[in-house]
Structures are given as C-alpha cells and as structure tokens.
C-alpha cells in the first residue's frame, strides 16, 4: 500500500536551518546531553553457553551500564572465529507488542533463511555479535502503575526528560557501553545493525560515537519536518529530543555527521513508516556531505519496490556484505 500525504497540520517555515556540519554537531550534542566517563566498570561475565544450528555459539553475558543497572545480552559467534573478529552490535526492533516481552531474543532465533533473525545471520557470517535488551524490553522491562509496553516506555522517557536527558540519550549511553563490551570480548573493529526502532538507535549511535565504522539500518529513516507537516506517523521515542525543532535540526542533518564512516540504508517502497521523501532526504544528506568533504561513497542503498516495513533476504545479504567490507578483521585490512 502506498502512503497518501495528509493535509499539512503545522507550518515549519525555514526548518531545518541551513548550517554547516560543525554547527550541526555542536547543537546536536548540546541537545542530546553530556556523556561523562562511566562511573562503574563493565564487569562483564559469561553466565551460560549453548550451541545453535550452523555451529553458532550463543552465550548469555551480563555487564554494567550504570550504577545499579546491570543488563543481559546474547553474545553470538561461530566456532573458530579469530579472537579479534569484527564485532557487530545488533539492536532489536521496537515493533509491536510481541517484541516487548522478548527484546534481544526476537532476532536471535536459529532459523536459516529468515531475514528477521539478523543477529543469528550476522554470527553465521563470521561476526562477533552482541544483542542486548533495550530499556523496557525483555529482561529490562519495568511496569509503571497500570501501564504496559509502549506506555512503560513513555513513562521511562518522561522520567529521563525530567532529569534533563531523554530516551535518545539513554540509548546512546547503553549502546556505547555495549560497544565497550564487544571490545572486552575481543573485537577491535565495530559496527552496528538494526531494524525499525533498532535502525533509529543505530544511526543515532553512529552519528555521535566514532567507534562505529559502519551501520546497517533497515527502515525508519525519520525526518521531523515531514512527520509533523506532511504525515501523521508515530515512531518510537528515541528520536524525539526536547528542543530539536527549536534548534533548527532534523535527522537527515544529524546523520550527515557519519561520513567518512559508512551507512547502509535498506528500504522498502511500500513502507508506510518511512515515506520516500524521508528516505531520500537521508541519502541526499549523506552523499552531499561526503562530496563536500571529498570522501569516497558513504551511503549504500538497497531499495526494494515491493517490500514493506520489513527486511528481505536480499536486503540482509546486501547489508552483511556491506558490513564485511567496512567492518573488517583489522589484521587483514
């Protein structure tokens, strides 16, 4: 089904502002918030290990992300990989009600040929994969009064905003600590992969954490100006930073901070959650910045005319090849 533009509900004249990359970075980091050194060590521990089909080992690991906050993740890798195999942070989707109870496990099932299982397929492809629960998902669920699932997340976002932070800030903090965990496990070259809400988390992380050499993102390329003045879309809460529109910033500007590092954009033309104008805005912003700074290609696009808000097997295969190229084993690069 195709998306029919809605009648504009709000005028945003002159938005976003036409400002250079340095100013984009300064304003965005100011809005996102400070990231001081972690006050607690990771203290990573492996608590369980099983072997899945295809020779993939799945370990259960625990590590600290903050004072009094210890989370569980799955660590997947194929037997015999080098100790310093490239590491991929795999961020689960946000999706519907079925993802909240399982979180990280949603994309870790050993099902050959199912592109939704991208954590498992990335391990099959030779990567060291870390798949944690996002806040309010899986083993990090915390009910708030009579609320459940998305409303728990609303409450978590409210609490963070009252502290001068946001769920976007929290995702960058937690995912940056997950990158530390991958380094502790042995990986020296790091990338990230995610679908839907996991895609949003991935490109936000890649925009501000230069450890991410490449990010493979499927769907949910969000521009605020199109969402609020042309479409009525409700995404997860990671991209809604207080004051972002007032500061003249939009997300295609933010991801233009990624070059010379690389971004893969997997997009289905029937995806109502990612209208074409949003997707094209991302691609154009990255390509223009790469050209301005004389970098080689930085935006790698895989489009499918008949795909919806989903990952197809050709899309996943293209993403894994992208990651193999741009998140290599450093001793061979």
Q: Does the N-terminal peptide bond of residue 16 adopt cis geometry, omega within 30 degrees of 0?
A: yes
What is the predicted pLDDT for the residue at 219?
A: 96
Establish if 148 belongs to a structural domain: yes
What is the predicted pLDDT for the residue at 148?
A: 63
> How many other C-beta atoms are found inside a 10 Å radius of the C-beta of residue 288?
14
What is the predicted pLDDT for the residue at 229?
A: 80
Establish if 13 belongs to a structural domain: no
In tens digits, the chain (333 residues) has pLDDT values of 344 444 444 556 678 889 999 999 999 999 999 888 778 999 999 999 999 999 999 999 999 999 899 999 999 999 999 999 999 999 999 877 788 778 899 999 999 999 999 999 999 999 999 999 998 888 887 665 555 666 677 777 787 887 888 989 999 999 999 999 999 999 999 999 999 999 999 999 999 999 999 999 999 999 999 988 888 777 788 999 999 999 999 999 999 999 999 999 999 999 998 999 999 999 999 999 999 999 999 999 999 999 999 999 999 999 999 999 999 876 654
Q: What are the tokens at 227?
A: 């969402």
Q: Which domain holds residue 155?
A: 21-325
Q: How many CA atoms lie within 13 A of 194 on its CB side?
A: 33
If one counts the domains in the chain, the total is 1
Establish if 140 belongs to a structural domain: yes
Establish if 209 belongs to a structural domain: yes
CATH number at 254 reads 3.40.50.1820
What is the pTM for the complete model shown?
0.92
Establish if 313 belongs to a structural domain: yes
What is the predicted pLDDT for the residue at 5?
A: 46
Q: What are the tokens at 256?
A: 């233009």
Residue 65 dihedral angles phi and psi, to the nearest 5°: -110, -25
Q: Which of 212, 198, 218, 262 is nearest to 86 (CA)?
A: 212
Q: Are 92 and 198 in contact (CB under 8 A)?
A: yes
Establish if 56 belongs to a structural domain: yes
d(CA 201, CA 192): 9
Q: Are 221 and 271 in contact (CB under 8 A)?
A: no
Establish if 81 belongs to a structural domain: yes
Establish if 118 belongs to a structural domain: yes
Residue 84 dihedral angles phi and psi, to the nearest 5°: -100, 30
d(CA 226, CA 182): 36
Q: Are 102 and 138 in contact (CB under 8 A)?
A: yes
Q: Among all chains, which residue has been given the structure tokens 């004072």?
A: 67
What is the predicted pLDDT for the residue at 332?
A: 56
């Amino acid at each position: 089904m195709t998306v029919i533009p809605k009648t504009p509900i709000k005028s945003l004249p002159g938005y976003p502002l036409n400002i250079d990359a340095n100013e984009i970075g300064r304003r965005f980091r100011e809005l996102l918030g400070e990231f001081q050194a972690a006050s607690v060590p990771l203290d990573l521990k492996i608590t369980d290990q099983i072997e899945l089909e295809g020779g993939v080992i799945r370990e259960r690991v625990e590590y600290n992300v903050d004072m009094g906050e210890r989370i569980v993740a799955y660590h997947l890798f194929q037997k015999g990989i080098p100790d310093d195999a490239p590491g991929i942070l795999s961020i689960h989707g946000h999706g519907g009600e079925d993802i909240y109870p399982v979180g990280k496990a949603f994309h870790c099932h050993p099902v050959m040929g199912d592109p939704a299982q991208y954590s498992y397929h990335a391990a099959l492809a030779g990567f060291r994969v870390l798949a944690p629960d996002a806040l309010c998902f899986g083993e990090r669920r915390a009910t708030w009064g009579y609320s459940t699932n998305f409303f728990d997340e609303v409450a978590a976002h409210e609490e963070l905003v009252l502290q001068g932070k946001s769920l976007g800030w929290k995702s960058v903090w937690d995912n940056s600590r997950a990158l530390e965990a991958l380094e502790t496990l042995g990986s020296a070259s790091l990338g990230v992969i995610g679908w839907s809400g996991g895609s949003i988390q991935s490109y936000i992380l890649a925009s501000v954490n230069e450890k991410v050499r490449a990010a493979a993102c499927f769907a949910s390329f969000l521009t605020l100006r199109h969402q609020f003045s042309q479409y009525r879309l409700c995404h997860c809460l990671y991209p809604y930073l207080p004051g972002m529109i007032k500061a003249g910033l939009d997300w295609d500007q933010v991801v233009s901070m990624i070059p010379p590092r690389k971004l893969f954009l997997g997009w289905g033309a029937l995806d109502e959650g990612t209208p074409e104008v949003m997707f094209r805005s991302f691609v154009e912003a990255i390509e223009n910045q790469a050209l301005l700074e004389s970098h080689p290609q930085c935006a790698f696009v895989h489009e499918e005319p008949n795909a919806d808000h989903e990952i197809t097997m050709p899309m996943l295969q293209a993403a894994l090849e992208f990651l193999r190229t741009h998140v290599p084993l450093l001793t061979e690069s």
